[in-house]
Amino acid sequence: MEIIWNELTGGLTVSGDAVRVVFRLFASLILGAVVGLQREWSGKPAGLRTHILVSMGTTLVVVACLSIDVGNDGISRVIQGIVTGIGFIGAGAILKQSQKMEVHGLTTAAGVWLTAAAGIAIGLGRTGIAFIGIAAGIAVLSLLGRFEVRMGWADPPNEEKHPSAGT
């Protein structure tokens, strides 16, 4: 029974560690959901679940590495690996339509990357920085998206899938 308890509490040795981890994962869930909801409402392919999982996954990796005291060099390598991996996810979201010579999905890929960055910041205990970054990202996605549509630089959101997307 002691082995099971040690496995369940590994990395939670100091009083308050469990609360800290739960807070960081919950904050990560919230920020991922904010970006994911904006993408859902805009009718984009990577939505709520994707952004939540990316944010929480990056937070979890960083928190787990910090719990084993990998040091600054180690955490730097972990973050480099996360950013590289997220690049592969983003590449999967980017599609080139050869007949039209158009590229689609760059903003979706950038949103996933932003969500991962917020997850990393939260994992490092920089939740306020993550909130500011996500707020700025939502402003870019929402406000500049509407501006691009008005200027004719972008197509309107897919209103058939999400009728509230244009409001």
Would residue 156 count as lying in a domain?
Answer: yes
Reported as a pLDDT band with limits 50, 70 and 90, residue 133 is very high
Give the 3-state secondary structure of the chain: CHHHHHHHHCCCCCCCHHHHHHHHHHHHHHHHHHHHHHHHHCCCCCCHHHHHHHHHHHHHHHHHHHHCCCHHHHHHHHHHHHHHHHHHHHHHHCEEECCCCEEECHHHHHHHHHHHHHHHHHHCCCHHHHHHHHHHHHHHHHHHHHHHHHHCCCCCCCCCCCHHHHC
Would residue 90 count as lying in a domain?
Answer: yes
pLDDT of residue 86: 93
pLDDT of residue 48: 94
Q: Residue 161's domain spans which residues?
A: 18-166
Reported as a pLDDT band with limits 50, 70 and 90, residue 98 is low
Residue 167, pLDDT > 50, answer: no
pLDDT of residue 80: 96
Residue type, 28: S
Would residue 149 count as lying in a domain?
Answer: yes
Question: Is 114 in contact with 137 (CB distance < 8 Å)?
Answer: yes
User: Between 166 and 71, whose confidence is greater?
Assistant: 71
Would residue 140 count as lying in a domain?
Answer: yes
Would residue 38 count as lying in a domain?
Answer: yes
Residue 162, pLDDT > 60, answer: no
Would residue 61 count as lying in a domain?
Answer: yes
Instruction: Give me the number of domains the chain comprises.
Output: 1
Please state whether the predicted TM-score (pTM) of the whole model is above 0.95.
no
In terms of Cα–Cα distance, which of 90, 89, 119, 120 is closest to 105? 90
Would residue 9 count as lying in a domain?
Answer: no
Reported as a pLDDT band with limits 50, 70 and 90, residue 144 is confident
Question: What mean pLDDT comes out for the span 4-23?
Answer: 86
pLDDT tens, position by position, 19-60: 999 999 999 999 999 999 999 988 888 889 999 999 999 999
